Amino acid sequence: MLAARTIPSIKPNRSGRPHPLLVGAGISGAVKNAGNRKTHLSGVGVRAAISSGDRTVETPAPAATAPQIDGDGGGSLLTSSSGIHVRAVVKIRKKMRETLKDKIEDQWCSLINSIGQGISILLISAQIDPVTKSGKSVESYVRGWASEPSGHSRTVEYTANFTVPYDFGDPGAVLITNFHNKEFHLVEIVLHWFEGGPIFFPANTWIYSQDNNPESRIIFRNQAFLPSETPPGIKKLRHEDLLCIRGDGRGERKLHERIYDYAPYNDLGNPEKDGDLARPVLTGEERPYPRRCRTGRPPMKSDPEYESRVEKPHPVYVPRDEAFEEIKQRTFSAGRLKAVLHNLIPQIAATLSSSDIPFNCFTDIDKLYIGGFILKDEEPLEKAKNLFLDRLTKQVLSIGDRLLKYEVPAVIMRDRFAWLRDTEFARQALAGVNPVNIELLKEFHIISKLDPAFYGPPESAITREVIEEELHGMSVEEAIKNKRLFIIDYHDLILPFIEKINSLPGRKAYASRTVFFYSNSGILRPIAIELSLPPTSSSPGFKRVYTPGHDSTAHWLWKQAKAHVCAIDGGVHQLVNHWLRTHACMEPYIIATHRQLSTMHPIYKLLHPHMRYTLEINALARQSLINGGGVIEACFTPGKYAMEISSAAYKSTWRFDMEALPADLLRRGMAVIDPSSSIGVKLVIEDYPYAADGLLIWSAIREWVESYVNHFYSDSTAVNSDVELQEWWKEIKNKGHPDKRNEPWWPKLNTKEDLTGILTTMIWIASGQHAAINFGQYPFGGYVPNRPTLMRKLIPQENEPEYKKLLLNPQGSFLSALPTQLQATKVMAVQDTLSTHSADEEYLGQLHHLHSHWTNDQEVEEMFQKFSTRLEEIEGIINRRNMDPQLKNRSGAGIPPYELLLPTSGPGVTCRGIPNSISI
């Protein structure tokens, strides 16, 4: 019999030599292990009988055979003279679709497990031995199948039997070692026949092979402990586990590893491939940026400042548990295939013609949704096939139109002409895919903060006369006082980049300002657009104001001005509000959470659902979306200066304390402080769907977080004395956002209220905020004229030849400035993928069945259920709002309901649903 012993190093001892931590530890016996080597343990002490494969067992006491028992352990204890008989059920997840090789390997692994040579389990007590001052442990090997099959088709279960000494105490952790030559996905380990029912050790983690890493994996039971409350028997394991996750900051990371560390964005460029793909490193005072997960790839030979690139189809390292699960990977891969299919025909068409093809009429755009795309005749199709030798490509072409059609975007599904109206342009500033840049105009005149020595006079060209002409008798001062004027101002962010952008081929842009008026009838409408170009050596600069006008020429000029605003808005949305403020800023929070908070820390358990898949999707974005020459540069206004603009926005506007929804609304003047409100703010425009629904979600998250924090922290002293928590917050600032670590606006972490505010902000960013600005990308951007992502021409001026073309063919002039068919379809395919929910999506307030044992605290489970119930109520409130005829921004003829902040959704492009995490 193997006696209970002190906790060894997390490296399994299979060398045949006594482990240094076991020598003199009060243990006797000899164990023949899976490698048929004997480990001799000296001394005397308590004993625990183990049934584990072919190991010979010696003990001073007679062995007792564990009886065969069904049930989950809720009944009476099974005992013998040697101790309590315990059974561990090990749940392992299989692949969804197994190849023949997979099936053969699974059969082999099952055989190895059945003879007790595949997986070892070391059960660790939460109590320590009073003599050795170390935790007790008993060991067994997985052997045999569970007596009852798993209720899930993709889960297989194995068992291991223990006989635990009577004075063993409560199990606190298990050390699991994988002796197979490949990894496996451990769902959980369940201990049966302990007093009080089954004990759960939730894992949902990949267990690497000992061939790759000799260290055992530590899995803690589903009980949360603050650091100061950690049971003594597992205190060292808590520390060791964190050390393993942090790594040493050296070397290239391997795909099987789970090391979390920081690195700057120095992997976006690829000058070794093409000098034009060089991109600046985003770090330091000039180009500050949050940090990403370190991969440790070697530097480029030509320039050590750059990290070498990994191009598709090779994967970018993320810690093993951060990678997409199989369902998610299939959904994402299907999206990639869809992108290939949607872009294949336009690519062929471009190859067959002298240049990429513009949209010549609106019918060309309609064809994307109605009949497929171009090349209907057999002859050009045959020519196209000859251009591509790849068999898969030929098969794709033979499929026909079905796969090459786009779904009709929500923005034109009910009213195909809605995008033409000024009221729809304004409505989308409040209820579209980018509803977070509109601000209250608080003073007049509008003044730039840029240096006039470089960018010209700071005064806007939007004059009092221009505004008052649209106010029907109201003065500017009166409109400002009554909170009737609003603005979306991209002037100062974009103007420093305009000359560079306009030097790129096929791309023209302005810095823009758009002023809106909110009428007595509750309708927001644009009344003036200012488009600006900076001064150059050959030009004094350009500022021109466009207004709705009432004649046909003014109408078409106004339409082009709105399109230019949308193109800039699309870039800011994608690079600032979407990528920077959610994806990029969330990544350091995730890294710090893994590095500084133990998996048994209550705050880790709270945040864990909100970290799923984010590092993987961010790594994929660095590989093909935001990289030099990637989709964002190819299809959006900023081009190769995209990430420099994102860095500029981070430098000038990003503040953690302003990422809280109420704080952001107050900063933008879209809300005022209201002590009588439970949220503390009141909206200036009540019919502001993003804000109105968002505050409901924010409030629900805050109530849940507040109750959770109060449950685990008795007072502010407990917050201050939590060493893991304090290091976590310190690391987020100093390592995750080091370029802004000295800013005075970082919240303190001294009280329960501080912690509640910080956590609420993080969860809101990962869930509600990301959902609001991500899942509407295709529903709003899938119709190119509604939200062009770039413009290829400036607006014609009276003294230019293009102006005559505008007068003769205004529709042609407008369409010729939009993205080409290839550019448009490429970005549409990407937007379609990014707007798609996968079948395994985990939504806010819902608990995935694999995570059902995340806690054993009944009070916490009741709090979470209350949170879930509140979100169900909110869904009903939002549905009723969408049917209220008084709320014109979410109901009315042809108006799609605002559902981006409805908590739940089915799979696909639904324009609704709040996932727990930034998962796409």
Catalytic residues: 578, 583, 770, 774, 920
Q: How many CB atoms lie within 10 A of CB 803?
A: 16
Cβ-contact 789, 827 below 8 angstroms: yes
Q: How many CB atoms lie within 10 A of CB 482?
A: 11
Query: Bridge partners of 218?
Result: 175
Six-digit token pair at 402?
Answer: 């079905």
Alpha helices (runs of H) in 533-678, residue ranges in sequence order: 552-572, 585-596, 602-607, 614-624, 631-635, 642-653, 661-667
727, with CB counted inside 10 A (0-12, 13-18, 19+), is: middle
Q: Taking the C-alpha atoms of 653, 656, 657 and 658 in order, what is their torsion angle to the nearest 10 degrees?
A: 40
* H or E segment to which residue 512 belongs: strand 511-518
The alpha carbons of the chain give a radius of gyration, in whole angstroms, of 31
CA angle 659, 920, 870 (to 5 degrees): 60
Rounded distance, CA 661 to CA 679, Å?
A: 10
Q: How far are the Cα atoms of 76, 207, 288, 625, 651 from residue 281, in angstroms, in the given order?
A: 64, 35, 9, 17, 14
Instruction: Number of helices (H) and strands (E) in the chain: give both, helices first.
Output: 29, 23
Query: Bridge partners of 219?
Result: 174
* H or E segment to which residue 808 belongs: helix 801-808
465, with CB counted inside 10 A (0-12, 13-18, 19+), is: exposed
What 276-280 contacts at long range (C-beta under 8 Å, 24+ apart), as own/partner pairs, is 276/640, 277/628, 277/629, 278/303, 278/628, 279/627, 279/628, 279/640, 279/643, 280/644
828, with CB counted inside 10 A (0-12, 13-18, 19+), is: buried
Contacts of 415 (CB under 8 A, 6+ apart): 893, 894, 895
Cβ-contact 25, 6 below 8 angstroms: yes
Q: Taking the C-alpha atoms of 262, 263, 264 and 265 in order, what is their torsion angle to the nearest 10 degrees?
A: -110
Q: How far are the Cα atoms of 431, 542, 575 from residue 426, in angstroms, in the given order?
A: 9, 25, 21
Cβ-contact 347, 375 below 8 angstroms: no
Cβ-contact 64, 82 below 8 angstroms: yes
Six-digit token pair at 757?
Answer: 């505010």
Phi-psi region of 226 (alpha: psi -120 to 50; beta: other; left: phi over 0): beta
